[in-house]
């Protein structure tokens, strides 16, 4: 029972490593709300997992991937603006999840744990999920890096230059879905986007290249995990929110430092 701390650190760092580079793209592409929408659908996955009697992580991952796919396809239509679409799906799936859980009377679900994370309760199986998802996401993102960057700068120019933009963007959205699904245990549905956005935003000020910004975002994310966990133990505060507060503190500290190179 005393090794819960190493497990929490290993899980948190795993998530932060993948969230850094993915988060930089989320910032560049202005997809923060997309991440939020995926996370909101996670609870529906929990309900689904409970209904099917499998590890809820299967349900969460499946629903997040399905949600990403749906959004990618729906974004191609022009009837509804993307933010309307995201809001619609995010809150519908969150509510469906809550309603679904209410029907499952025999299943006890730690709702607060899912909403705000339960990093101190990370199990060995959870670690497999997190590191599997992280390594998959980092490997795929490395392969996608160049075309995704080109498509981020200018979609049509990238298409003329031969980038299969839709497929690259779809793959990126699925990667976010995977990372969000495995990160739920660490900071919870309501706070996941912060782990993508805040380290990346904090890294911007010091970065001179896209790769530098991604790497620094990973480092800052890991630091936030460490500081947050330490603070949580020291003052007995909830771990997930403590990590997010630590990340925000790093962001503010970075912007308060004088004379850093903002390119």
Partner 1 sequence: MAAECLLRVENIGFAIRGHSILHEVSVQVAAGEIVALIGPNGAGKSTLVRIALGLLAPDYGRVWRKPGLRIGYMPQRLTVDDTLPLTVQRFVTLGSPASRERVQAALAEVGAEPVLNTPVQRISSGEMQRVLLARTLLREPDVLVLDEPIQGVDLNGQYELYDLISGLRQRRGCGILMVSHELHLVMAATDQVLCLNRHVCCSGHPDHVARDPAYQALFGLDGARRLAIYHHRHDHRHDLHGAVVPEEVDAHG
Q: Does 83 bind partner 1 (CB under 8 A)?
A: no
Q: Which is nearer to partner 1, 84 or 263 (CB)?
A: 263
Q: Which is nearer to partner 1, 95 or 142 (CB)?
A: 142
Phi, psi dihedral angles at 154 (to 5 degrees): -160, 110
Give, in order, the Cα–Cα distances in Å from 103 to each of 79, 113, 115.
Answer: 34, 19, 19
Span near partner 1 by CB under 8 A; candidates 32-40, 104-112, 124-132, 207-215? 207-215
Site of tokens 């499946």: 62
Q: Which of 15, 204, 225, 246 binds partner 1 (CB under 8 A)?
A: 204
| Residues numbered 134-153 forming contacts with partner 1, rule: CB under 8 A | 146, 149-150, 152-153
Shortest spacing between CB 245 and partner 1, in angstroms: 22
Torsion sign, CA atoms 71, 130, 14, 249 = positive
Q: What are the two backbone dihedrals, phi and then psi, of residue 119, each rounded to the nearest 5 degrees?
A: -65, -30
Q: Is 209 one of the binding residues for partner 1 (CB under 8 A)? A: yes
List 33, 113, 174, 210, residue binding partner 1 (CB under 8 A) = 210
Confirm or reject binding of residue 110 to partner 1 (CB under 8 A): no
Residue 75: which of 169, 141, 145 has the closest Cα?
Answer: 169
Contact 178, 66 (CB under 8 A): no
Tell whether residue 77 is a contact of partner 1 (CB under 8 A): no
Window 15-34: residues binding partner 1 (CB under 8 A): 27-28, 30
Cβ(9)–Cβ(226) below 8 Å: yes
How many Cβ atoms sit within 10 Å of the Cβ of residue 78?
6
Q: What is the DSSP letter of 118?
A: -
110 DSSP 8-state letter: -
CB of 206 to partner 1, least distance (A): 9
Binding site for partner 1 (CB under 8 A): 27-28, 30, 146, 149-150, 152-154, 156-161, 201, 204, 207-210, 212-213, 263
């Amino acid at each position: 029972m005393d090794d819960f701390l190493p497990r929490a650190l290993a899980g948190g760092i795993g998530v932060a490593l993948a969230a850094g580079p993915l988060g930089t793209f989320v910032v560049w592409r202005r997809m923060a709300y997309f991440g939020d929408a995926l996370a909101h659908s996670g609870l529906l996955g929990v309900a689904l997992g409970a209904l099917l009697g499998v590890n809820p992580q299967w349900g969460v991952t499946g629903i997040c991937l399905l949600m990403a796919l749906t959004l990618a396809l729906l974004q191609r239509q022009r009837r509804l603006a993307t933010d309307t679409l995201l809001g619609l799906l995010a809150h519908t799936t969150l509510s469906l999840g809550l309603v679904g859980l209410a029907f499952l009377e025999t299943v006890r679900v730690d709702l607060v744990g899912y909403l705000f994370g339960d990093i101190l309760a990370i199990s060995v199986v959870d670690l497999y999920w997190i590191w599997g998802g992280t390594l998959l996401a980092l490997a795929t993102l490395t392969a996608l890096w160049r075309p995704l960057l080109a498509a981020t700068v200018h979609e049509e120019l990238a298409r003329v230059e031969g980038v299969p933009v839709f497929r690259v963007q779809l793959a990126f959205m699925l990667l976010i879905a995977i990372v969000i699904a495995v990160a739920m245990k660490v900071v919870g549905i309501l706070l996941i986007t912060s782990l993508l956005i805040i380290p990346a935003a904090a890294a911007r000020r010091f970065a001179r290249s896209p790769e530098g910004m991604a790497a620094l975002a990973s480092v800052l994310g890991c630091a936030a995990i460490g500081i947050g966990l330490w603070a949580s133990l020291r003052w007995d505060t909830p771990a997930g929110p403590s990590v997010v507060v630590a990340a925000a503190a790093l962001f503010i500290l970075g912007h308060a430092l004088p004379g850093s190179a903002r390119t």
